[in-house]
Amino acid sequence: MIMKQSTLKLPQISAHVSEGTKGKLDRLSKMRGMRKAFVLEQALLYHFRALEELPEEAFLPPRLVLSQDSFEKVVEWVENPPSPTKAMQELMDGVPNKSAEKE
């Protein structure tokens, strides 16, 4: 016997999200004609799969929270970037890294 998902007793989760994220979820579910619960479960499953299959360094946080001092340093680096190091110039020029070749 096939049961509709709405008749199954499934666990429920609750989460606080930003207004922007909620708006995107609302628009996507309406545009695609999908239930929000389905969209969220699929997104979580994709995320869990990525965590299993990709190396840790592949994940960048979607937001960075900086102290005022750190923020000012970033602004300074963006407005006045430091000169490239010799290693950076070699990397961009495609020159092999001799220390990496020894490993």
Amino acid sitting at position 53: E
Task: Report if pTM > 0.85.
Answer: no
Residue spans per domain, the chain: 18-58
CA distances 103 to 55, 86, 92, 97, 98, Å, are 21, 20, 21, 11, 9
Yes or no: say if 26 and 34 are a contact pair by the CB < 8 Å rule: no
Confidence band, pLDDT 50/70/90 cuts, at residue 59 = confident
**Closest by Cα among 1, 12, 10, 20 to 63:** 20
Query: Would you say residue 77 has pLDDT above 70?
Result: yes
**For 19-44, what is each residue's pLDDT tens digit?**
999 999 999 999 999 999 999 999 99
State how far the Cα of 48 lies from the Cα of 102, in Å rounded to an integer: 37
Least confident of 44-48, 54-58, 75-79: 54-58
